[in-house]
Structure 1
Amino acid sequence: MRISIKLNRVALAALLVAVASSCKNDAATASSESSNEKSTELMTDNILLKEWTGPYGGVPAFDKMKVEDIKEAVETGMEMSLDEIEAIANSAESPTFENTIVALERSGAELDRVFAYYGILRSNMSSPEFREIQTALAPKLSEYESTILQNEKLFKRIKALYDSSQVHPHPADQQRVLELTYDRFAMNGANLDEGKKKRYAEINKELSTLYTKFSNNVLHDEENYVTYLTKDQLSGLSDGYIKSAAKIAADKGHEGKYAVTNTRSSMDPFLTYSDERELRKKVWTNYYARGDNGDEFDNNDLIAEILKLRRERVELLGHKNYAEWRLQDRMAKTPENAMQLMEAVWPAAIARVAEEVADMQAIADKEGANITIEPWDYRYYAEKVRQAKYDLDSDEVKQYLQLDKLQEAMFYVAGRLFNYDFKPVPEGSVPVFHEDVKVWEVTDKDSGEHIGLWYLDPYARQGKRSGAWATTYRSHTTFDGKETVLASNNSNFVKPAPGEPLLVSWDDATTFFHEFGHALHFFSSNVKYPTLNGGVRDYTEFQSQLLERWLSTDEVINNYLVHHETGKPMPKALVDKIKNAATFNQGFGTTEYLASALMDMKLHLADPTNIDVDKFERETLAELKMPKELPMRHRTPHFGHVFSGEGYATAYYGYMWADVLTSDAAEAFKEAPGGFYDKEVADRLVQYLFSPRNSMDPAEAYRKFRGRDASIEALMRDRGFPVPKS
Structure 2
Amino acid sequence: MNPLLQDFNTAPFSKIKAEHYKPAIKKGIEIAKAEIDAIVNNTDAPTFENTTVALDFSGDKLSRITSIFFNLNSAETNDEIQKIAQEVSPWLSEFSNDITLNEELFKRVKSVFDDKENLDLSPEQKMLLDKQYKGFARNGANLNNADKTKLREIDAKLSKLSLQFGENVLAETNAFEMHLTDEKDVSGLPESVKEAAHQLAKEQEKEGYIFTLQYPSYIPFLTYADNRELRKEMAIAAGKKAFQDNKFNNEKNVLEIVNLRQQRANLLGYKTHAHFVLEERMAVSPEKVIAFSNNLLTKAKPAAKKEFENLEKFAKNLDGIDQLQKWDGAYYSEKLKKELFDLDQEILKPYFKLENVIDGVFEIANRLYDLNFEEVFNIDKYHPEVKTYNVTDSKGNFISVFYADYHPRKGKRNGAWMTSYKSQYVKDGVNERPHVSIVCNFTKPTATKPSLLTFNEVTTLFHEFGHALHGMLANTTYNSLSGTSVSWDFVELPSQIFENWCYEKEALELFAKHYETGEIIPMKYVEKIKESASFHEGMQTLRQLSFGLLDMKWHSENPSAIKSIKEFENDAFADTKLYPDVAENAMSTSFSHIFQGGYSAGYYSYKWAEVLDADAFEYFLEKGIFNKEVATKFKENILSKGGTEKPMELYKRFRGQEPKPDALLKRAGLI
TM-score normalised by structure 1 residue count: 0.89
Structure 1 partner of 2:526? 575
- From 133, 150, 157, the equivalent of 2:108 is 157
Structure 1 partner of 2:304? 353
Q: Are residues 1:691 and 2:640 paired?
A: yes
How do 1:70-469 residues align onto structure 2 when only pairs under 5 Å count? 70-232=21-183, 233-251=185-203, 253-425=204-376, 427=377, 429-445=378-394, 447-469=395-417
How do 1:490-505 residues align onto structure 2 when only pairs under 5 Å count? 490-505=439-454
Q: Secondary structure at the match of 1:568?
A: coil
For 1:339 and 1:331, locate their aligned partners in 2 and report how far apart those are by CA, in whole Å.
Answer: 14
Structure 2 partner of 1:46? 2
For residues 626-645 of structure 1, the C-alpha deviation after alignment (integer angstroms, 9 at most, x for no partner) is 112699x9921111111125
Q: Are residues 1:640 and 2:588 paired?
A: no
On the 8 A contact 2:416/2:464 being kept in 1, the answer is yes
On the 8 A contact 2:232/2:327 being kept in 1, the answer is yes
Q: CA deviation at 1:498?
A: 3.2
Cα distance change, pair 468–625 in 1 and its aligned pair in 2 (3 A): closer
Moved more, 621-630 or 163-172: 621-630
Moved more, 360-369 or 242-251: 360-369
For 2:313 and 2:644, locate their aligned partners in 1 and report how far apart those are by CA, in whole Å.
Answer: 53
For 1:557 and 1:599, locate their aligned partners in 2 and report how far apart those are by CA, in whole Å.
Answer: 36
Q: Secondary structure at the match of 1:648?
A: coil
Structure 1 partner of 2:427? 479
**Letter matched to residue 50 of structure 1:** Q
Q: Secondary structure at the match of 1:441?
A: strand
Q: Secondary structure at the match of 2:440?
A: strand
Q: CA deviation at 1:323?
A: 0.6
**Letter matched to residue 472 of structure 1:** S
Structure 2 partner of 1:519? 468
Q: CA deviation at 1:220?
A: 0.6
Q: Secondary structure at the match of 2:115?
A: helix
Identity %: 35
For 2:160 and 2:480, locate their aligned partners in 1 and report how far apart those are by CA, in whole Å.
Answer: 26
- From 645, 666, 669, the equivalent of 1:717 is 666
Q: Are residues 1:679 and 2:611 paired?
A: no
For residues 115-173 of structure 1, the C-alpha deviation after alignment (integer angstroms, 9 at most, x for no partner) is 13212321111111111111111211111111011111111000000010034442222
For 1:536 and 1:443, locate their aligned partners in 2 and report how far apart those are by CA, in whole Å.
Answer: 28
Cα distance change, pair 439–613 in 1 and its aligned pair in 2 (3 A): farther
For 1:247 and 1:546, locate their aligned partners in 2 and report how far apart those are by CA, in whole Å.
Answer: 36
Q: CA deviation at 1:610?
A: 3.1
Q: Are residues 1:591 and 2:542 paired?
A: yes
For 2:574 and 2:318, locate their aligned partners in 1 and report how far apart those are by CA, in whole Å.
Answer: 34
For 1:499 and 1:78, locate their aligned partners in 2 and report how far apart those are by CA, in whole Å.
Answer: 50
Q: CA deviation at 1:235?
A: 0.9
For residues 12-40 of structure 1, the C-alpha deviation after alignment (integer angstroms, 9 at most, x for no partner) is xxxxxxxxxxxxxxxxxxxxxxxxxxxxx
Q: Secondary structure at the match of 2:134?
A: helix
On the 8 A contact 1:263/1:287 being kept in 2, the answer is no
For 2:573 and 2:620, locate their aligned partners in 1 and report how far apart those are by CA, in whole Å.
Answer: 40
**Letter matched to residue 645 of structure 2:** M
**Letter matched to residue 413 of structure 2:** R
**Letter matched to residue 316 of structure 1:** L
Structure 1 partner of 2:617? 666
On the 8 A contact 1:49/1:113 being kept in 2, the answer is no
On the 8 A contact 2:308/2:539 being kept in 1, the answer is no
**Letter matched to residue 321 of structure 1:** T
On the 8 A contact 1:350/1:627 being kept in 2, the answer is no
On the 8 A contact 1:243/1:496 being kept in 2, the answer is no
Moved more, 472-481 or 680-689: 472-481
Cα distance change, pair 629–381 in 1 and its aligned pair in 2 (3 A): farther
On the 8 A contact 1:702/1:709 being kept in 2, the answer is yes
**Letter matched to residue 693 of structure 1:** G
Cα distance change, pair 348–266 in 1 and its aligned pair in 2 (3 A): farther
- From 528, 531, 538, the equivalent of 2:477 is 528
Q: Secondary structure at the match of 1:266?
A: helix
For 1:689 and 1:116, locate their aligned partners in 2 and report how far apart those are by CA, in whole Å.
Answer: 24
For 1:424 and 1:133, locate their aligned partners in 2 and report how far apart those are by CA, in whole Å.
Answer: 33
Moved more, 473-482 or 174-183: 473-482
On the 8 A contact 1:207/1:306 being kept in 2, the answer is yes
Q: Which runs of 5+ in 1 are unaligned?
A: 1-44, 53-57
**Letter matched to residue 553 of structure 1:** E
On the 8 A contact 1:416/1:677 being kept in 2, the answer is yes
On the 8 A contact 1:489/1:516 being kept in 2, the answer is yes
The total of aligned residue pairs comes to 666
For 1:681 and 1:496, locate their aligned partners in 2 and report how far apart those are by CA, in whole Å.
Answer: 38
On the 8 A contact 1:599/1:620 being kept in 2, the answer is no
Cα distance change, pair 166–630 in 1 and its aligned pair in 2 (3 A): farther
For 2:157 and 2:573, locate their aligned partners in 1 and report how far apart those are by CA, in whole Å.
Answer: 32
Q: Secondary structure at the match of 2:247?
A: coil
Q: CA deviation at 1:215?
A: 0.9
Q: CA deviation at 1:372?
A: 2.0
For residues 261-303 of structure 1, the C-alpha deviation after alignment (integer angstroms, 9 at most, x for no partner) is 2122321111111111111111111112111112211111111
Q: Secondary structure at the match of 2:210?
A: strand
For 1:124 and 1:609, locate their aligned partners in 2 and report how far apart those are by CA, in whole Å.
Answer: 35
On the 8 A contact 1:65/1:117 being kept in 2, the answer is no
Q: Secondary structure at the match of 1:377?
A: helix
**Letter matched to residue 73 of structure 2:** R
For 2:435 and 2:209, locate their aligned partners in 1 and report how far apart those are by CA, in whole Å.
Answer: 37
Moved more, 145-154 or 600-609: 600-609
How do 1:699-710 residues align onto structure 2 when only pairs under 5 Å count? 699-710=648-659
Q: CA deviation at 1:356?
A: 2.4
Please give the root-mean-square deviation of Cα atoms over the aligned residues, in Å: 1.8
Q: CA deviation at 1:494?
A: 3.0
For residues 53-83 of structure 1, the C-alpha deviation after alignment (integer angstroms, 9 at most, x for no partner) is xxxxx21111112122111211121122112
For 1:329 and 1:690, locate their aligned partners in 2 and report how far apart those are by CA, in whole Å.
Answer: 20
**Letter matched to residue 397 of structure 2:** E
**Letter matched to residue 612 of structure 2:** L
For 1:84 and 1:512, locate their aligned partners in 2 and report how far apart those are by CA, in whole Å.
Answer: 39
For 1:630 and 1:520, locate their aligned partners in 2 and report how far apart those are by CA, in whole Å.
Answer: 40
For 1:452 and 1:319, locate their aligned partners in 2 and report how far apart those are by CA, in whole Å.
Answer: 40
Q: Secondary structure at the match of 1:111?
A: helix
On the 8 A contact 1:514/1:547 being kept in 2, the answer is yes
Q: CA deviation at 1:690?
A: 0.7
Moved more, 396-405 or 681-690: 396-405
Structure 2 partner of 1:11? none
- From 549, 553, 557, the equivalent of 1:602 is 553
For 1:86 and 1:601, locate their aligned partners in 2 and report how far apart those are by CA, in whole Å.
Answer: 40
**Letter matched to residue 684 of structure 1:** K
Q: CA deviation at 1:192?
A: 0.8
Q: CA deviation at 1:613?
A: 4.4
For 1:388 and 1:356, locate their aligned partners in 2 and report how far apart those are by CA, in whole Å.
Answer: 15
